[in-house]
Amino acid sequence: MNLLSLWQRARRKAPDLPDAQRADRLLFSLFLLAWAVEARDPYTGGHLWRVARLSRLLAETAGLAPQEVCRITIGAFLHDLGKIGIPDAVLGKKGKLDGDEYAVIKTHPEIGLRMLAGHPLAALAQDAVLLHHETPDGRGYPYGRRGDDIPLVARIVGICDAFDAMTSTRPYRTGMPVARAIEIIESELGRQFDARLGQLFVGLARHPELAHIVGHSDAGIPLERCAACGPIVVRPRSAKPGDTLYCPACHSEYTIASTSTGLLATGKRNTARALAASPDTDLIERVVGECLPGMDHCSV
């Protein structure tokens, strides 16, 4: 059944909403679900936006049809949904995980699949959510699938997720330069990463548009720098000079400078306000708007 049929069926149940409005509200609710992970994990500000943006770019470069680009963007935004079920002690651990902790992390794709179940658009995201840690050499998880047994969407999201993890700064380590991350992807072509798509991604790394994604949390908005933890503070597009922002890791308080970019430290910490995350509904609306044109032809 394609999306249009799904909406037409839903319309018979609620005839007062036009199809287009229902479609974009369904997609909005799916992305809102994904944002729960962004709110829980203090170290991944902007990760969903970056992985969605990189995946869209790679899908377009691979010459995929608009409905596939749409499905891949949605899958990329949702891919880590299951991390909502991972305990803080593991999700927020600074440094290497031990064997038991790694076993816990490896449950997040299946947790994500269970959380998606029942959403009317679950089929659009389930391959990315369940299979983004599978690798062509069969050493990935949860099933150890190989090569083309891994759906295209999961191979694309797997590359973009790994690249973003390597190039993003955490409070306990600085993000790797793009050139080094690209070397690692090149060295793992055909093993950790799909050879053809990975090669395309390597070509994209010299693309000027990539520089506007790395280290950003939204189009044109770089991550702001916490003096102690590095560039991990998300500045919402709606934030104005004088507004208060908090480092999600150390909870230091900053105000947005009035005349230039950057933050001014107030010298205070406010854990309660730093932890009071809220979804960036503006950003979600824009990602919904980018996906809608391809959705009429998506099968669900």
- The residues that touch Fe ion, with contacts defined as CB under 5 A, are 80
**Nearer Cβ to Fe ion, position 124 or 274?**
124
CA atoms within 13 A on the CB side of 200: 18
For residue 190, give the nearest of 143, 131, 135, 150 by alpha carbon: 135
> Which residue, 38 or 80, has its beta carbon nearer to Fe ion?
80
80 or 134: CB nearest Fe ion: 80
- Chain centroid offset of residue 83 CA: 12
Measured from the CB of residue 80, what is the shortest distance to Fe ion in angstroms?
4
DSSP of 237-256, one letter per residue? TT--TT-EEE-TTT-EEEEE
Contact 83, 40 (CB under 8 A): yes
Inter-residue contact 147 to 189 (CB < 8 Å): no
DSSP string, 73-94: HHHHHHTTGGGGGS-HHHHT--
- 80 vs 253, beta carbon nearer Fe ion: 80
| Shortest reach from residue 220's CB to Fe ion, in Å | 27
Matching residue, tokens 């922002």: 245
Instruction: Tell which residue, 67, 81, 66, has the closest CA to residue 119.
Output: 81
Return the residue nearest Fe ion (CB atom): 80
Q: Which is nearer to Fe ion, 175 or 294 (CB)?
A: 175
The residue among 6 and 128 lying less far from Fe ion, judged by its C-beta, is: 128
Which of residues 80 and 280 has its CB atom nearest to Fe ion in the complex? Answer: 80
- Whole-angstrom distance, CA of residue 100 vs CA of residue 107: 11
Q: Which is nearer to Fe ion, 44 or 67 (CB)?
A: 44
Cβ neighbours, 10 Å, residue 255: 14
Residue with tokens 């794709």: 109
* Min CB(182)–Fe ion separation in Å: 21
Q: DSSP string covering 34-59, please?
A: HHHHHHH-TT-TTHHHHHHHHHHHHH
Separation of alpha carbons 168 and 156, rounded Å: 18
Smallest distance, Å, CB 37 to Fe ion? 9
How many angstroms separate the CA atoms of 151 and 268, rounded? 48
